[in-house]
Every structure is written in structure tokens, then in C-alpha cells.
Structure 1
Amino acid sequence: MGEVSATEPERSEARAGTGEPVIATRGLTKRYRGGQLAVDGLDLTVPAGSVFGFLGPNGSGKTTTIRMLMGLIEPTSGTARVLGQPMPRATRAVLPHVGALIEGPALYGFLSGRDNLIRYDSADPAADPRTRRARVASALDRVGLTAAAGKKAKAYSLGMKQRLGLAAALLQPRRLLVLDEPTNGLDPQGMREIRALVRELASDGTTVFLSSHLLDEIEQVCTHVAVMAQGRLITQGPVAELSAGARGRLVVTTPDPAEAARVLKEQGVGDVVVTDDRVTGEPPDRDLAEVNAAMVTAGVRVRGFTVERASLEDAFVALTGEGFDVAG
């Protein structure tokens, strides 16, 4: 069963200093009984105000990390600080400032979507009961569930349940929003809506920590990213810098693709791929003008010659040597 973060008093105690990371871990490790190493020495830094993508294939340690950050499980070793406070020791001070959707929402199936949110809001001792229904209505509207607010949660689709979980996390203003696979079960339109909501929250100053196994999702919405594989951190930093660190693809458009491919290989271009009139490859360590000139000299009719910007997928493959889910 998933959790949406609980709320407690002591709100004034969780105040991160100016410029201090919203999340910071050092050597964070979780080893389960039986010896399974789920997270191995994680050093993570999440800047304030970022939309931070936590990227990795299923089983890479993302959810275990989130559960440690939220104080739901104890680390085996290492430290974690959230909003400047040590976790799990400062759970009571930190969680009121955090909205979380972890492993899907925990819902009462016999209650309507609206009544589920009322139940969540009632559990917050700092929530004003006089404005409860207005808060619930606003949260439902933000995630597009107003029309289905009266329907019982057990009749909701998986995507609708995800939206309701997000609404629960948004009942109060949050300094940090932690989302574990938030677009799970959503159709393409629903994905776009959730991404738009994440951007809106970020523009309002909320830091968003978004776990996903979808490269496309991270690249579209995130400002920063950390890449996990087999419990270890592979790299982290701004998305633009990570993509820039990977080499782009040389793209040649020509009615003579076979001859172009031959010349490109002779010029040191690697991983040459021919698709109709388009020939792509990894740029060589030499002046590309010379490569172009060599094709012209060989009689190749060059209609287009460019280097496409590297994507986050290119960066991931360069870092790990593995393929990855692009869009699910």
C-alpha cells in the first residue's frame, strides 16, 4: 500500500537555509535482510526550486531511496537531510512541508474521491476545517477530477487514482513534492496534464523530486537529473549539461545513402546507420568539413549535413552502455 505523507505540527522547525539543498544524502545505503543491496553509497544533491528527475530502470533503488528520504524506512548507513533536517529523526518537523506520492496512493475504495481528500485533510492538525471543502475542490480541479469527485475511488481507473493521490499531496502548499512514477497508468493526454502541473508547481517555487523510468518524461519536464543503476548513482546534474556531455549524431541526407555510408566509415564515423535517404553515425575526432568534402569528392550528392543535439537517451547509453525505456 502506498503512502501520502502525513502531517504534524512543528512547521517552523523545517527551514532550509538560503542556497541549502532541499535534499542531500551522503553515503546513503540500504541493505535488506538476506544481503540484498538496494541502495549503495548514494551521494545526492537536489537544489532548491529544481524539478529533479530521479531516473533509473525498475529495480535500480529509486523507491527505496524515496522511502528513506521520507522516513518510512531506516537506512543501513549514511545520512539523509530533507529541508535541512536529518531524516528520519526530524520526520515530525519535515513532513508537513512535503507532499508525497509513493508507490501509488493509499485510498479508501468505499469513499468518493472528494471524501478521500476530506479524510486526508482532516488528518492535518494545522488544516483549517472552515476552508476544507474549498481546498479539496481546488485540489480536485488542479488534477482534472472535478467531474469524477463524487464517484467511489474503487471505480477509478489507475490513472484517476494517480491523480487523486496527487490531489492529496497538493491540499496544502508544499516546499517539496516527491512523486514516485506519477504518470503511471495515465494515457498520453493525462501525462501531458501532469507534466504541465509539475511545471506550474515549480514556477510557484515548489521543488519537485520526480522518480521515473521514462527518459522522455525526465527530458521534457526536469531541470536536473540523477541517474541510478543497480542501486548506485551513475551521474547527476542539470539535464542540459548531461545531454551536452554526450556526443550528438552526425546526420547526412542524400539520394546516395550506400555510397555516403561507405565514405563516412572511411572517414572514421562510427555506428553508421542507413534509413532511406538518411545516414547517421557517431562524429569522428576530426574536422567535419573534411568529412563533407570527402563525400563531395566521392560524388555523393549531399542534401543535408548536420550534427543533431545529443538527447538524454544518448547520455544514458554513453554512461551505462545500456538501452533504456524512452517513452514507456
Structure 2
Amino acid sequence: MPKQPATGPDGARPPTRGSGPAGTPAPGPGVPSAGEWAIETRGLTKAYRGGQLAVEGLDLVVPRGSVFGFLGPNGSGKTTTIRMLMGLIDATAGSARVLGQPMPAAGRRVLPKVGALIEGPALYGFLSGRDNLRRFDAADPDADPRTRDARVGHALERVGLGAAAGKKARAYSLGMKQRLGLAAALLRPRELLVLDEPTNGLDPQGMREIRSLVRELAADGTTVFLSSHLLDEIEQVCTHAAVMARGRLITQGTVADLSTTVLGSRGPGRLTVTTPDPADAVRVLKEHGLTGLQITDDRVTGELPEADDGAGPPELADLNAALVHAGVRVRGFGTERATLEDIFVQLTGEGFDVAG
């Protein structure tokens, strides 16, 4: 199996493609040491009875200080991977390091530095939100009881539950329970925050608040490992991402590099024109070298050509002028950038399902 390329200047390995797991970086100049990864796995594998592989040969690296999106459809192995990283289940083969320490062997040293929300929070329904957090905080042997109320109050305010702190948890909505679980993960400063579907059950306003909180945590130096099936959510907050499918790592890298590397073969971009004259627009755009032209109602889309002299695609202003000169009424004009959904479909050949 070929080795994965060494890391780039941003400290993350360039994205890899293929049907099997990505390789690990070979030792040498330019390759970060284990201490520079918040999470590193080598050949991590989980097989259940009957030989069913939930995760196979996973080689994953999460740079410290990144907001890392962990993507995959239902059954891709995301939650199983997270459970192995946190020491909740044993791996069948391979190894995992979290914050530079082997897991699960170093769990007692590592886990106090990690906040986690996995598969939804486990709450005491008969206790209030505030008392749930007090109970969680009391279970932490390193938590100072003298400052407990201050920590609990601060965590509740950060997730927008200050006004509902005295309400019984059994009366919380799904979104409020998610917020309370996130507050529990934030009771103390963490080096790493692991979130499995943190916006599950939240309304659009709640999603925006969680995105803002993730950005705030990252700005403070916390590494955030975020598993989600909401690709646009990942795209708005993540600096790096990995795609899983059928238990295997398909690719990983910075979000920008994934777009460039995976979709680079698509050419310089895709033009979208909104017009009441789509047939005339297609005729003009064909004359200027656009390919793959499609009409959907009043929208015309097509692939921009490479310039013959290698200087890049034609000027958008020139294309717009050509349309207007030909009498095409242009209501909208611009290029579409590749999204994480485009990347996922290109890599896996399938639509995106709910989270696994």
C-alpha cells in the first residue's frame, strides 16, 4: 500500500483518495511528531462477531488546534471510531493516540483533558439542568467543589440554558438536552472536545449558536473533533475534514485542499446563469467553449473551459458581455464553488445519509 504524502506547511497531511485506508506519514523532515496531533490512529480496526468489520485499518490524524469534521453516511464507522478513541470499546487491531498518549492505556491521564458528547447525553430526568451538571462535576475527582457553582453557571450560560437551569431535565426538549450535554463537556477547560452530532434536535438559531461556540473554543486553542451528517454545518466551521465510507477512510485533509484535490479534475469551475432566455444563453455559452450545459427552469449551468494559452478560464465579465450583446436577459450570473457534498458524492458515488 502506498505511503501517504508528508504533511504540508499547515501541519496537516494532504488529502488522500482510494478505496482502502489512507497510509501513515513516513518519518522524516516535515512530518509532525506524535505530540502535534490531537488524535492519531494507525491501522485501527474493529470487528464484531462473525467477522463483520465496522472500522478497517483506519489511519487518521487530527492536527492540534483544528476544527476537524468527521463525515460519513449511516454505518460508515464514525461513532464506532469515536468510542474506540474514548476507550469505551476495545479495538480489534491497530492503535490510537489521543493528545499524544496511547488509548485506552492512558485513559486516566487523557480523559480529564477531553470533553465529549457521544450519542446524546445521559441525564437524570428527575434533576434540574443545574443539578445534573452539579452531579457530573462532583464525579470529577479533580474538580474543586468550592468553585462548582461558578463552573456550572458559566457552562449553562455558554450553551444558552441559563434561564432553564432550574427546569427538570425530563421536561427538556431534544435540543435542550443536547445543549445540556454540551454544557457538561464544557465544565472545565479542555484540550480536546469530541462532539458526535452536537446540533441534533436544534432549531436554526440553536445551530448558529453552537457554530459560534465551536469557533470560540477553537480560537481559545481547543481542538474540536466534530462528527456530523450536516455537511453545510461542517463546511461553515471546520478547518479540516475526513470522509469515511463502509468502515474505511476515503480521504482527509484541509477543507480547502479536499476541494482542490478531489474536484480539481472538474476544471476551473461551473458557471450559473439565471435568465428568461435559457436556450439563447446555451447557444452563446457553447460558442465560448462551455461544456456540460444544462437547463433547469430559468437556470443554465455549464463547465468553464481552460484557456488555450494556459492563462486560466475566460473572464467572467467577457462571458456576461457576450450574453448581453446577444440579447440574452441576464438576471443572475456567477460561479459555483465545490461543496463538501460535491466532494462526498465524488468520492463515494452515493448521496449522503443520516449519521452513523
5+ residue gaps, structure 2, are 1-31
Identify if the C-alpha distance between structure 1 residues 133 and 273 changes in structure 2 by more than 3 Å, giving closer, same or farther: same
Identify if the C-alpha distance between structure 1 residues 300 and 78 changes in structure 2 by more than 3 Å, giving closer, same or farther: farther
**Residue deviations 1:109-129 (CA, integer Å, cap 9, x gap):** 111111110010001111111
Distance across 2 between alignment mates of 1:305 and 1:184: 35
Identify if the C-alpha distance between structure 1 residues 296 and 51 changes in structure 2 by more than 3 Å, giving closer, same or farther: closer
Identify if the C-alpha distance between structure 1 residues 274 and 284 changes in structure 2 by more than 3 Å, giving closer, same or farther: farther
Conservation of the 8 A alpha-carbon contact between 1:272 and 1:282: no
Partner of 1:258: 279
Is 1:281 aligned to residue 302 of structure 2? yes
Distance across 2 between alignment mates of 1:107 and 1:297: 62
Kindly provide the amino acid, as one letter, of the partner of residue 125 in structure 1. Answer: P
Query: Which is further off, 113-122 or 31-40?
Result: 31-40
Query: Which is further off, 297-306 or 246-255?
Result: 297-306
Following superposition of structure 1 onto structure 2, how do residues 142-221 of structure 1 map, counting pairs within 5 Å? Answer: 142-221=158-237
Partner of 1:308: 336
Partner of 1:66: 82
Is 1:112 aligned to residue 128 of structure 2? yes
The root-mean-square deviation of aligned C-alpha atoms, in Å, is 2.6
Partner of 2:28: none
Conservation of the 8 A alpha-carbon contact between 1:22 and 1:207: yes
Distance across 1 between alignment mates of 2:327 and 2:93: 61
Conservation of the 8 A alpha-carbon contact between 1:215 and 1:325: no
**Residue deviations 1:258-288 (CA, integer Å, cap 9, x gap):** 2333565684612624331x31123345555
Partner of 1:324: 352
**Percentage identity across aligned positions?**
77
**What SS does the aligned partner of 1:324 have?**
coil
Conservation of the 8 A alpha-carbon contact between 1:23 and 1:81: yes
Aligned with 2:61 (options 13, 27, 45): 45
Conservation of the 8 A alpha-carbon contact between 2:115 and 2:194: yes
**What SS does the aligned partner of 2:201 have?**
coil
> Normalising by the residue count of structure 1, what TM-score does the alignment of the two structures yield?
0.87
**Residue deviations 1:164-202 (CA, integer Å, cap 9, x gap):** 000100011100000000000111111111111111111
Partner of 2:21: none
Kindly provide the amino acid, as one letter, of the partner of residue 149 in structure 1. Answer: A
Residues matched between the structures, number: 310
- CA offset at residue 320 of structure 1? 2.0
Distance across 1 between alignment mates of 2:111 and 2:344: 33
**What SS does the aligned partner of 1:127 have?**
coil
Partner of 1:8: none
Is 1:270 aligned to residue 292 of structure 2? yes
Identify if the C-alpha distance between structure 1 residues 264 and 31 changes in structure 2 by more than 3 Å, giving closer, same or farther: farther
- CA offset at residue 243 of structure 1? 2.3
